[in-house]
Amino acid sequence: MKSDVNKTTRGIQSRNREEVTTRILVAAEKVFAEFGYAGASISRIAASAGIPKSNVVYYFETKEALYRRVVGEIFDIWRAAADSISVDNDPIRALGEYIDTKLDLARTRPYGSKVWANEIIQRAPIVQDYLEDELRSWTENRITVIEAWVQNGQIRPISARHLLYAIWATTQHYADFTHQITTLNDGVELSDAQWEDTKTAVKDLLLSGVALPGQDGVVTDG
Amino acid sequence: MKSDVNKTTRGIQSRNREEVTTRILVAAEKVFAEFGYAGASISRIAASAGIPKSNVVYYFETKEALYRRVVGEIFDIWRAAADSISVDNDPIRALGEYIDTKLDLARTRPYGSKVWANEIIQRAPIVQDYLEDELRSWTENRITVIEAWVQNGQIRPISARHLLYAIWATTQHYADFTHQITTLNDGVELSDAQWEDTKTAVKDLLLSGVALPGQDGVVTDG
DNA sequence: GTCTATATACAGATAGAC
DNA sequence: GTCTATCTGTATATAGAC
């Protein structure tokens, strides 16, 4: 803010700023997921990032601002995952890709999913504006696409909205409820093969009711 | 504990104890759901129950003990909801009833569902024993039933485990993500008619892939 | 049984040394 | 930019008056 000094070293400092910022964001995503917003103390986030807690405050000013950054990231990632849902694409293939991508994210970014779940469970006290400004219109657009597929006779006349909710619920379940799933898997995390089985099973269960009778390609997909 | 005194009034006191205990449990379920374990202070629970906070401590001793009671209740209710999953019952009818009951509970006991979700998201720091002692064997029993249905040729050869997870995920989504669903419903809670539509849509989506080709009765059910 | 007062710990955020 | 010291508030739990 009061810059001027150290102008010559700004390049190095900027890179350092970015590195530290990223470290904090990664740590924060995990700690917010595992302890909830209230239970995630700045000192715990700092300890997880390996820096003093006042450093966290210095880079993000407040706990809430840091939290919003974390939530915003997973929100953006999920939106990009739905790119395949477009009128020009084949419905079963597009929905299958969406499920695959969401399940890959459930495995690779489980903490982000958990933070989002926590926030919604608690009635979005901090990111309600995201829901109203962005999620709402985004969702309506996807529903319009799915309804167009129904109109065109490309899929069975299912409820587009509830199909979307079912895909969200099921794919995110494998992230949010990882601990329960692991416990029911004799305490060991799902293997690569089990994750592949999961993808196949989820697509089979959710898309068999969507595909037209006799249509194939639900399970057998790259 | 050091009883003896006031023996004649014990009947009245016991009834009062039960009343107050219930008030606290109802308040606690809501507050734990809306603020998470760490964010749910005893004073907030007490305020919600309309009593002084030391009273809450008197009846439940610790915040953790109170929390365990709350989690245990929803766990028991959900187990009872799966009574219909029994080899002697018709699969599609039984699974449809299970989905209906879970969705009814999503509407009537959303806070319990949220508390459970929160606890699992945070890796069951307090009720891990429930998962290992009770949930595990209970789940395996249900999977055995569904696999028997497959063996008997009563349903398609789906993955029993992932079907169960999909039912849990989808039905609980309507409780845990109520706020998101409400926001996407223009800010108003689902109406009676919309809840009926939800039941129909969820059963249609999840059970179309389970029923044998040409089998009906998935959607058309009392 | 009920409630006030309090002990002890830790939270978020800030001031200011370096 | 980084970190120590500290201010202020609130948490759980307990002691003990009534």
Question: What CATH number did the domain enclosing B115 receive?
Answer: 1.10.357.10
Domain contains A217 = no
3 state SS of B135: helix
Least confident of A13-17, A142-146, A150-154, A188-192: A13-17
A2 pLDDT band, cuts 50/70/90, is: very low
Domain contains B100 = yes
Domain total in chain A: 2
Residues B96 and B16 in one domain: no
Residues B109 and B192 in one domain: yes
Determine if strand D comes within 7 Å of the CB of A14.
yes
Residues B108 and B191 in one domain: yes
Domain contains B82 = yes
Tell me, in Å, how far CA of B23 is from C1' of D18?
24
Domain contains A219 = no
pLDDT at residue A215 in the model:
75
Residues A82 and A186 in one domain: yes
Residues A188 and A81 in one domain: yes
- A43 and chain B in contact, CB less than 8 A: no
Average pLDDT over residues A23-30: 97
Place of tokens 């239970």: A39
pLDDT at residue A220 in the model:
45
Q: For testing the chain B interface, which of A63, A92, A102, A165 should be mutated: the one with the most B CBs within 10 Å?
A: A165
Residues B149 and B175 in one domain: yes
Residues A49 and A89 in one domain: no
How many CB pairs below 8 Å do chains A and B form together? 173
User: In which domain, by residue range, is B117 found?
Assistant: 72-207
Domain contains A203 = yes
Domain contains A216 = no
Tell me, in Å, how far CA of B41 is from C1' of D11?
7
Residues A57 and A152 in one domain: no
Domain contains A222 = no
Chain B 49-88, residues with CB within 8 Å of chain A CB atoms: none
Tell me, in Å, how far CA of A18 is from C1' of D2?
15
Domain contains B37 = yes
Residues A56 and A99 in one domain: no
* Residues A14, A16, A18: CA angle, nearest 5 degrees: 70
Give me A166's structure tokens. 């079912």
- Whether residue A221 is predicted with pLDDT greater than 50 in this model: the reply is no
- B113 and chain A in contact, CB less than 8 A: no
Cα gap A126→A132, rounded to integer Å: 12
Residues A27 and A44 in one domain: yes
Question: What CATH number did the domain enclosing A39 receive?
Answer: 1.10.10.60
Segment B131-156, tens digit of pLDDT: 999 999 999 999 999 999 999 999 99
Residues B78 and B49 in one domain: no
Segment A49-89, tens digit of pLDDT: 999 999 999 999 999 999 999 999 999 999 999 999 999 99
Per the CB < 8 A criterion, the answer to whether A100 and A139 are in contact is no
Give me B215's structure tokens. 């089998």
- A211 and chain B in contact, CB less than 8 A: no
Average pLDDT over residues A160-180: 98
Per the CB < 8 A criterion, the answer to whether A194 and A173 are in contact is no
Chain A 186-205, residues with CB within 8 Å of chain B CB atoms: 197-198, 201-202, 204-205
Cα gap B54→B52, rounded to integer Å: 6
Residues A80 and A57 in one domain: no
